[in-house]
Amino acid sequence: MTPSGAPLTWTHRLLQLGPTFYTRLQPSPVSNPVWVARNSGLLDQLDWPDDLLGDAHLPAFAGNALLRGSDPVATVYSGHQFGVWAGQLGDGRALWLGEAASACGPHEIQLKGAGRTPYSRMGDGRAVLRSSIREYLCSEAMHGLGIPTTRALCLVASPQTVVREDVETAAVVTRVAPSFLRFGHLEHFAARDQVEALRQLADHLIEHHLPEARERAHAWQGNVYAGLLDEVQHRTAALLAQWQAVGFCHGVMNTDNMSLLGLTIDYGPFQFMDGFNPGHICNHSDTQGRYAYARQPNIAYWNLYCLGQALVPLIGDQDLTVAVLEGYKTAFPRALGDAMRAKLGLTHELASEPLREADWTLVEDLLQRMAAERVDYTIFWRRLSQAMASEDGTWSFEAPHWQAVTDMLLDRPALLAWLQRYRERIGECPAAVLGARMLRVNPKFVLRNHLAETAIVQARQGDFSEVVRLQQLLQSPFDEHPEMEAYAGFPPDWASQLEISCSS
């Protein structure tokens, strides 16, 4: 392929591990590529050249050319899928172009949907426009919410056909992250008893991505690999707490879809919940409900246990490994408690340790009320924030700003009783101060399924304006955007009929 002249400074530290960890290959071209969306904001943050997303580089981001200096590979990994060991997997439709220096440190660039690789397992290596739009938008929506995630640099579409349940068209989304390494990368070499390769990969992680492991090792007899597991589990606990707090369902929390850096990765059948339902299953393919919303924290622990087993040959002590993993049982509840307390404005001066248990009871009681009536999760929290921000100290729950909250539950007396407990908990702290804080925690806009679906339907007709509009909106989801009020409303009736599966 003819190189495209993007002036990036490449480092390619992953390639130093050697060919045991990847296969070099070229992307497969698509026909007649066109831009769908370009993320100039991310380009600015990384301080990459402005012309990187210019028309001259469209062929490179379509897989029809190479960025100058890139060295594309597909990496090998294994993993557990829906709780069952799946054996060797790998980048079946993702191609790692390399690692480039940026203002935010070295970042890897990956094309998703660039064609068949040695790890495609009878697949075509392509991604469809539908799922690519969802991934592009959701990765940027998560970043806007302040949740760790891979990012999306650009999205390219092609009229080339791809067969899934129906005939669809192809797309290539360019993803960016400090690293795309997953739990499954370590599992792969542990399962094959390739201990030296396992050690080499773990050392790479510690050296280049998770140096905090060395500090954590002090608590584990100086065992740096125990420190690595501990660092990954704390990042994972923090991530899961943020998912739960915002009502996000991942849908496919297989070990090969879990980032070792604690990033949200692989947006497939995800969903931001509409009506609050702890048992909600967003993935139509998940017939047993393994990855239901309320189960996500325990699945993360299960996945961490698998990771711990993979690291036992390096840690050298099964009991020590289990002892490290016990930390999740403390780290996650604390992270979730802090996240939910923040949604109520209970931070800073109101965060004294003796009050945590009582605060969690307050949170649980509210969530039980919401679940009983399937109250819209995002709208309720936003209205509560707005009511607090508007409260002048009279605390009349008949006032319009409070009625917007109390009208959301049929059991109004129960909600009023809860609000009175909440008021008592706040004490003398000005409600407006807490409300302003809450408005920066509880978003007005999330990427609901029906919003993504509308953008997809239009994009299939060649109109990508809704993708661009949503991208811009979701970059600042806590702002009011009065001209975009409809995007913050209740979902239409047809939204409940949408089915999102693993097919992409």
Which residues participate in catalysis according to the annotation?
256
CB burial class (10 A; 0-12, 13-18, 19+) of residue 175?
buried
- Please give the full DSSP string across 42-89, using - where no structure is assigned: HHHHHT--GGGGSGGGHHHHHTSSEETT---EEE--EEEETTEEEEE-
Q: Which two tokens stand for residue 116?
A: 């068949």
Strand 3-4 and strand 66-67: the pairing is parallel
CA distances for 122 relative to 111, 125, 487, angstroms: 19, 9, 40
Q: Which two tokens stand for residue 456?
A: 């997809």
Sign of the Cα torsion 50, 53, 58, 59 reads positive
- Please give the full DSSP string across 359-409, using - where no structure is assigned: HHHHHHHHHHHHHHHT-BHHHHHHHHHHHHHH--S---TTSHHHHHHHTT-
> Which one, of 261, 148, 263, lies nearest residue 213 by Cα?
261
- In whole angstroms, give the CA distance from residue 139 to residue 182: 17
In degrees and rounded to multiples of 5, residue 20 shows phi and psi of -60, -25
**SS3 category, 471:** helix
Asked if 322 contacts 308 with a C-beta cutoff of 8 angstroms, the reply is: yes
Asked if 185 contacts 63 with a C-beta cutoff of 8 angstroms, the reply is: no
